[in-house]
A and B are shown apart, each in its own frame.
Chain A
Amino acid sequence: MLHRPAQWRNACDMAQHDTILIIDFGSQVTQLIARRVRETGVYCEIHPFQSAEAALHRLSPKGVILSGGPASVTDAGSPRAPAAVFASGVPVLAICYGQQTTAVQLGGSVEGGHAAEFGRADVQIKAPSALFDGVWQVGGSYPVWMSHGDRVTVLPQGFSVKATSENAPFAVASDEARRIYTTMFHPEVVHTPDGAALLRNFVTRIVGANSDWSMAAYRDEMIARIRAQVLR
């Protein structure tokens, strides 16, 4: 129908940049994850969980972020991350629903019916994590933004608790060796004041992505692309 050349149909030629893949489980704030990542100078793309596996193969991302979402992992047929995400060995940051599906997919468990937690909460830092490096200190207490009903009750093997809150015993849990970090709160919203710094830690320190996403570079690439398309 539309004559949209392949290079515009998807951003595959953006894959020359170090890329973060954001897998969307339908959260209202998924776009904010992408905004925070791009602010660190790293290219990222959002893809819905249904087409995430294809995106994973096409983009070969340096890191993956799993978004929140409105479903309950305890429901039959609820969304899952592609198993290839965890098999690929790239660092993973899993937020809210992403944490819950990560727990279930890697052998932990999740229960519904606990006191729901919406809005501001404080997390207490129990153990160091690469995610907090230079941002949060063990023993400290920091404000975050929560929005969840279900919660993880048993962590997968290799994971341990790094931070807790009153209603979230696993506010942050991670497997530092496998570089899988999970948070029950939303680091992408401004109501988590240190959230942008945590995302920056993930993208630049843990993933080690090149901060080469600048509008100066984009300008040159895009002019070349337009020339290639239009001039013959």
Chain B
Amino acid sequence: MRHAEAEQVVTLFREHYNIPLVHVDAADLFIDALQACGPDPEAKRKTIGKLFIDVFEAEARKIGGAEFLAQGTLYPDVIESVSFTGGPSVTIKSHHNVGGLPARMNMKLVEPLRELFKDEVRVLGRELGLPDAFVGRHPFPGPGLAIRCPGEITRDKLDILRKADAIYLEEIRRAGLYDVIWQAFAVLLPVKTVGVMGDGRTYDHVLALRAVTSVDGMTADFYPFDMAFLGRVATRIINEVKGINRVTYDVTSKPPGTIEWE
């Protein structure tokens, strides 16, 4: 999770929704498993998916089981796609059913957003009176920060990334750009370079900044920040976050790139 994110979600559920949310901090479990699983992106995703199920199942047992799983499946996830190779049959895209959890735990799905596109969901959120800050939140990947930290995962690297990401987003909000950007985040690269700070030589990580505009996430362009903004963010991150001595900006569009790095 990003800086202060868990607290924000817990606050939303307990104070706005009046829903008795169970919040489990399983960070140690995840980080230990990720450290053991190595740098392969697919292995990281699988490790996280499997652990999520284990933790969810254990917690659900404690409260006597869960009958329903509410999830935010969107219309583009459920449109059957045309297949020319498969003859008259149609392919149904695999759902993001968190690793088969519903079938394994005999849960029924509640998917109230199945008919909607993402921008319609945001309109619906406003109709429901949700705070703008939550409705306009940038998308965040299910596997979390682990896939914004290419290579081996360590607690230290995640801490460095979390601090740098928080500064980057704070500057974006301060510049009034958060809502014109589809998604912005930092990526901590598994590359160290030489720098000089004060009278000393440093040998620290490189951080990449990413920000894209998009209407629907299907295609995306990098956001054309002005150089003064990028310079300000880089200076703050290098001064305030120990472990980073160089900052770069990703200017790849989608396609050919993807929005996330892993």
B-binding residues in A (CB < 8 A): 1-5, 8, 11, 14, 24-26, 31, 34-35, 38, 46-51, 69-71, 79, 215-216, 218-219, 222, 225-226, 229-230
Contacts and interface: CB of A to CB of B under 8 A. Distances in A.
B49 to A, nearest CB: 17
B194 interface: no
Given A79-B82, A230-B110, 6 more contacts: A4-B109, A8-B110, A34-B75, A225-B112, A226-B110, A229-B68
B90 interface: yes
B170 to A, nearest CB: 31
B240 interface: no
Interface stretch (B27-35, B113-121, B142-150, B181-189): B113-121
B124 A215 contact: yes
Interface centre among A26, A69, A218 (most CB of B within 10 A): A218
B80 A48 contact: yes
Interface in B54-103: 68, 75-76, 79-84, 88-90, 97, 102-103
Contact of A8 (B84, B107, B109, B116): B109
A71 B84 contact: yes
A153 B114 CA distance: 41
A222 B112 contact: yes
12 contacts: A1-B103, A2-B103, A3-B109, A31-B79, A48-B82, A48-B90, A50-B89, A71-B84, A215-B123, A215-B124, A225-B112, A230-B110
8 smallest CB-CB distances across A and B, nearest first, come from A26-B82, A215-B123, A215-B124, A48-B82, A3-B108, A222-B112, A215-B127, A219-B127
Contacts of B80: 47-48, 51
Contacts of A31: 76, 79, 117, 216, 218
Contacts of A5: 108
Contact of B111 (A8, A49, A71): A8
Contacts of A46: 79
By size class, the interface of chain B is 20 to 34
B4 interface: no
B120 A8 contact: no
Contact of A38 (B106, B111, B112, B117): B117
Contacts of A49: 82
A213 to B, nearest CB: 9
Contacts of A51: 80, 90
Contact of B120 (A4, A25, A38): A38
Nearest to B68: A230
A35 B108 contact: no
A50 B120 contact: no
Contacts of B109: 2-4, 8
A70 B90 CA distance: 16
A11 B110 contact: no
B99 to A, nearest CB: 13
Nearest to A51: B90
A219 B124 contact: yes
A222 B111 CA distance: 10
B227 interface: no
Given A51-B90, A226-B110, A2 B82 contact: no
Given A8-B114, A48-B80, A218 B103 contact: no
Given A215-B120, A219-B127, A229 B110 contact: yes
B115 A14 contact: yes
Contact of A24 (B82, B115, B128): B82
B128 A2 contact: no
